[in-house]
Each structure stands twice: as structure tokens, then as C-alpha cells.
Structure 1
Amino acid sequence: MIQSDIDLQPFNTMTIAARAKHFCAVTSLEELRAALAFARENSQPILPLGGGSNIVLTDDFPGLVLHLGMRGLELEEDAGGVRIRAAAGENWHQLVMRSVEAGFGGLENLALIPGNIGAAPIQNIGAYGVELKDYFEQLTAVEIASGDLVTFTADDCAFGYRDSVFKGAGKDRYLICEVVLRLPNTWKPRVDYPALQQFFAEEGRPLDALTPAEIADAVIEIRNSKLPNPVEIPNTGSFFKNPVVSEAQYTALKASHPNVVAYAAGDGWKLAAGWLIDNAGWRGFRRDGVGVHDRQALVLVNPGHRSGHQVVGLAREIAADIKDKFGVTLEPEPRFYP
């Protein structure tokens, strides 16, 4: 059912007050196609919302907001491993824990990432050395202009670091309905990420004997120790991508800042954006109800439930300061609407 003039504050984890001209909660492909037909007939722009954890609303939305609530989660075991088929409205963390509890390894490093399945391929979500693309098989999406179903393989998705075709050539053209993942039956712990190594070293645990459930528990504990729960402190998780710089730029930065945190990334180096922001003095900063989390500088928070303009303004101020101090460009992870 199409509703009018709906408050979007309950539908975004930054708790920004904004209103939708039209709003429709869809739970099936038929409802989605009907809503898209309404948008086409009335020349309405589309804003898809799932868990609302990767968006900053900078104003009221002058079109149709689609709350994608399609449900369905299946784990199908075969000789090659397990195939996970999940509808867009399923919660990502619950999918991870369902696979872990069933004894299947692969997704445990991605535990507690906020949001729903439908948004995961758009960002190519990742954490602790693992990305969605590592276990992605295919997805099904609806083309907004026609309502037709389209299947995307991993190659079609053109996955990159926090990137995909849905942020480039396919931006605003498709709505993801279902994602299929494939976990192989041969599994090895992936615990080379420093935070995980430190966690298990402190516990005296041999890395080669870990189970997927033990790694998931460690990831959850680490994330809870550093990242605020959006239910308690409004936020969108990591606000900036870790910037990738050239070997020459990294060498110069390392010479002037010997303690810079970075990881080899192909021909360049991936810098820890949180380290840059922290060492620029922003961690714990507060102004007029918005700020930077006091335990993780990569997270912008909105405890005062301020406007999207104030959040974006702070983000741009931080990015300009990082550019000035380190010569590094920060790129936001969440998308700004409209």
C-alpha cells in the first residue's frame, strides 16, 4: 500500500528526521513491481531502504521510498559445500549466525555487520580480511525502469573495495531481491587480521584449531568493544573507507608519521582511516549533537538526532582536515540522499 508523508526517522540508523513524499513497505516481488509501476506512472524518483544503516538523509525525499522487506533464508547442502539463498529483507548478521550455528565456515569474520542482505553486494561488505565477494555466487534484481528480473554473476557485479557495479554503471537502476552465496566444504580459519591475532594470542588459543563459531564470537566481542550500537547511539557504522594510496605516497607518509597503520593492497597500501582521524585529534569530538565516537574515530555519531546536513558538514570538515594534515583523500561509505 502506498502511503504519503511518512517520517523516515525510524527507518535509518542515524535517526535523522526526514519525510518521504510516498512510502511503501514491500514483502514480495509482486508488491515491488506494483510499487515501481506507481512510481513510473507518477514520475516519482525511487529511494530503496533496507536496514537503513548505510544512508544519510540530507533532506525530505520527494518521491517513493521503498522499504524492502522480502523474507526467506535457505541453506542447501550438496557435495561441494552449502549454498545460501537469502531474500533482500533478511538481516545480514542473522544470516551469518545461522550458517555458523549450522557448522559452515566462511562468513564468520563478517559477523555483526549491520544492515540487510539486499545492501550487502552494493557495498561488497567486508571485515577482518574477508569480503562478500569471496563467497558470492549470484543475485537477482529488478530493473527499476521495466520491472524485469535480472541475474548478476560475480563478474557482472564488478566487485571492488566497498564497491560494485551498483555504485557505478548500475547505480539507481536495480533493486536487489535475492542473494545467493556459496560456502565450500573445505574451510580454513582466516585470522591473519591483526585484531583477531591479538585477541586469540591474549587467550592463548592455537589459530589452526579454531571453529567458525569461535571466530564469530571473537569478531562480535571485538566489534562490541569498539563500535557503538546504533540502537543506543545513532550511527551508520564505519563512515569512511580506508583510503588506498600508492607506494610512493605511503613511503612519504611513513617517513613523516612512522606509526601510521597500513596494509599492503595490490600495488599500493590501504591506510587505516580510523588512525588518520584519531591522530588528527577528532576522536571523541562533539558539536551541537553530532560527533565522532570516543572509542572508534571511524564512526560518526548523532546522539542529538540532528539533521543530515550537520552530519555531512562534520564529515566534510574531517575529510578536509585529513587532506590538509596527511595529503590523503577520505571517501564516505554511506550514501547521501537526496
Structure 2
Amino acid sequence: MYKIKYFSNLSIKDLNTFRVDLTAKKIIFIKNIKSLIYILQICKLYQIPHLILGEGSNVLFLKNYQGIIIVNRIKGIKIVEKSNNWLLHVFSGEKWHDLVKYTLNLGILGLENSALIPGCIGSAAIQNIGAYGLEFKDVCHYVDVMSFKNNSIIRMNKNSCKFSYRNSIFKNQYYSECVVIAVGIKLSKKWQPLIFSELENHMKPKFISAHQIFNIVSKIRTKNLPNLKKIGNAGSFFKNPIIKKKHAEKLICLYNIPYYPQSDGLIKISGGWLIEHCNLKNIQIGDAAIYQKKKLILINKKKATPQEILQLAQIIYRHVLKKFNIHLEPEVDFIGSIKKIKTSDLFTLKNKKIIY
């Protein structure tokens, strides 16, 4: 009935940016909503575990997946011009960086600070991606999701999505209830550059264009981040922790620690600095290591197993907790043999046996 491309018992190495070499019972590529509904109905009828994946840029598979991996390739971009804004409707299988380039070339400005962020549009909403002063929530107008219960598509406005730092309602409460189908993005025609510290060094003269920002961000990210085509990684493995002001003040008194006051009175601390000052510079578990240019990133140097990557992450977590009394929160999702694994089951101060 539907033209669906699928494979059985194949490696998922090319479907996750960590490039862990595991397998899935079945891998299915879908290009339209009807095909997605059809596959989800089969999974529901026969109680088959399933996982919807974009570029696999924010997951760590811990075991061979004993279900169906549905690879989202639902694409399309619709643009409506208003007197003061551009309204974009973007389907979730589009790549984020491709959207940034596409809009910039059309003279639709506002996404340039997020150049070269990996992943698809769906994960942009789920993770509330961000870089250099811009987060997805800043440009989000709405998110269209499809319910797993009745396949109905619901439009959620920005305020209903509960966006926070690298988080949303789709990463938590709605994770097993719906799938992101498309997002609405609203960009003002009155463009103003978002200035960040590294950008100030390039502002000669004071005026800077969106294209220049795009090029500068791309250059910085290319220089400082591992090449996904050569080194397996999922970007920042841990979030920069956000802690209470009283706790932060104690740390600031003891250490010359980078910190960033938040609008809600909390303090964001540099997670990379915490890791660097735990004497973990040269630690390596098998082929799993800390990326030296950016300590929040864990890398698969060649043939790291998921257990090696997880063990390295657990060691980092315990050291930071013991020294600074800060719980580093993983940014990645952990996928077991049939479902997502809770972070709380994997990270603890005690040297527990790895659970997956």
C-alpha cells in the first residue's frame, strides 16, 4: 500500500552520530505522514517496540535495538510573507543546518547564530537546541505533533511546549505519547544581530551582516568541535549545570569558575570547566575519551562500545559530584534494547553496576 524502504538486522552505525556499531531488528525510512501512521499502527497492533529517529545526533544506543527504528525523512518547507514577519512551516525530517542556509540565501534572516548545529527539525524542538545566544524557543511559533493514540495532529503554541535549557515537554511528559511532525518558525523582517563574545572580535566595522555571522559561527564550530564524519560524538554530552545562587557563590569564592546569572535568579556554571578541574584530562576508557578542545563532549575515537562511553560519562559524573557537589545532567538520550532508559538509572555517586 505504501512505498516504504526498510532493512532487517542491519548495523545502525550510520544512523547515530556516536557511530556505535549495534544493530536493529528492522530499520524503516518514511517520507510522508501516511507511511508513519501505517507503521505506528502495525507497531501498536503487534506491540512492537519502536523508536523514531532523525539524524541520531543526540542519542547513545546501549544495546542492539530489538524493535523498529523509524527514520524520519518527512520533508518540506512552506514560507508565508507577512508585513512584519516571515512565517515558516517546516517538516520534522528537514536538517536544521540546511534550513539555516536555505533561509539565509532567501534573505530571511534570524537563524544564522545556529549554523552547523547537527540534527533534524524534530529534534530542534525536542531539545530546544541553541548556540551563541539563540535558542529554538526564541524563533518558535508552534509545534505540530501527532498523537500515538489516535493519529490526530495537534498544534501546540510556544508557551505550551515548556521550553527550557535543552529541554521541552516533548523530551519528558510527551516522549512516549506523540511525535513531532512539523514546526512553525516566526522571523522578524527587522533583523538585529545577536552579538556574542567571540563575534565582537570580528566586528570591524561595527556593522555586521547575517551572512558574516553565519560564516563566523561556522568557522568557530568547525575549529572547536569534532568533525562528525571523522570522530563519533553527540555534541555536548552533559549540559552546563544551572544551580542555586547560594551554592554558586560558595564555588565562586573557592574557584575562579566561569558563571552566568540567569533571569530567574539561578546561576549557570561552565560544565566544561568543572570537568577540566577534576584532573580527568587524559582519562580514556577503550576508545571513549573526552574531547580536549571542549570538555563537555565525549568522543568515540574509533571503535568505542556504548558501555565504554557510558562508563566514561559515569566516572566524570561522580568526580564532579564529589568535588563540586554538582549533578551533571546528560544532554543525550540513552536507548536500551526496547526503550529509552532513565538517566537516574544510569548515574549515581556510588559505583553501581552499569544498568542498561
Q: Same fold (TM over 0.5)?
A: yes
Aligned partner of 1:297 among 295, 298, 304: 295
Partner of 2:352: none
Output one character per residue of 1:103-155: Cα deviation in whole Å (capped at 9) or x when no partner: 22221111110101111010010111111001101121221232221211112
- Cα distance in 2 between the residues matched to 1:8 and 1:32: 20
Partner of 1:82: 86
State the Cα distance separating 1:68 from its structure 2 match.
Answer: 0.3
Moved over 3 A (4+): none
State the Cα distance separating 1:287 from its structure 2 match.
Answer: 2.9
SS for the counterpart of 2:90 is: strand
The answer to whether 1:249 aligns with 2:247 is yes
| Root mean square deviation, CA, Å | 1.4
SS for the counterpart of 1:24 is: strand
Greater shift, 240-249 or 284-293, is seen at 284-293
Partner of 2:258: 261
CA contact (8 A) 1:141 1:178 kept: yes
Query: How do 1:10-159 residues align onto structure 2 when only pairs under 5 Å count?
Result: 10-159=14-163
CA contact (8 A) 1:288 1:304 kept: no
CA contact (8 A) 2:30 2:74 kept: yes
SS for the counterpart of 1:237 is: strand
CA contact (8 A) 2:284 2:312 kept: no
Report the number of matched residues. 331
Output one character per residue of 1:216-274: Cα deviation in whole Å (capped at 9) or x when no partner: 1111111111101111111001111110011111110011102x111111211111111
- Cα distance in 2 between the residues matched to 1:287 and 1:302: 10
State the Cα distance separating 1:97 from its structure 2 match.
Answer: 1.4
Amino acid corresponding to residue 199 of structure 2 in structure 1: L
Aligned partner of 1:286 among 281, 284, 287: 284
- Cα distance in 1 between the residues matched to 2:272 and 2:55: 24
Q: Give 1 or 2: higher helix fraction.
A: 1
- Cα distance in 2 between the residues matched to 1:84 and 1:90: 13
Output one character per residue of 1:273-322: Cα deviation in whole Å (capped at 9) or x when no partner: 11111222334543311101121111100022222121111111101111
- Cα distance in 2 between the residues matched to 1:81 and 1:333: 32
CA contact (8 A) 1:284 1:295 kept: no
Partner of 1:214: 212
State the Cα distance separating 1:48 from its structure 2 match.
Answer: 1.1
The answer to whether 1:171 aligns with 2:175 is yes
Partner of 1:195: 198
Output one character per residue of 1:6-33: Cα deviation in whole Å (capped at 9) or x when no partner: 3211100001122112221110001100
CA contact (8 A) 1:234 1:303 kept: yes
State the TM-score, normalized to the length of structure 1: 0.94
Partner of 1:308: 306
Partner of 2:184: 180
- Cα distance in 2 between the residues matched to 1:91 and 1:99: 12
State the Cα distance separating 1:57 from its structure 2 match.
Answer: 0.2
- Cα distance in 1 between the residues matched to 2:29 and 2:11: 13
State the Cα distance separating 1:39 from its structure 2 match.
Answer: 0.3
Output one character per residue of 1:143-172: Cα deviation in whole Å (capped at 9) or x when no partner: 123222121111221111111101221122
Partner of 2:339: none
- Cα distance in 1 between the residues matched to 2:282 and 2:315: 15
Q: Which runs of 5+ in 2 are unaligned?
A: 337-356
Amino acid corresponding to residue 200 of structure 1 in structure 2: H
State the TM-score, normalized to the length of structure 2: 0.89
CA contact (8 A) 1:144 1:174 kept: yes
Identity %: 29
Q: Which runs of 5+ in 1 are unaligned?
A: none
Aligned partner of 1:317 among 315, 318, 334: 315
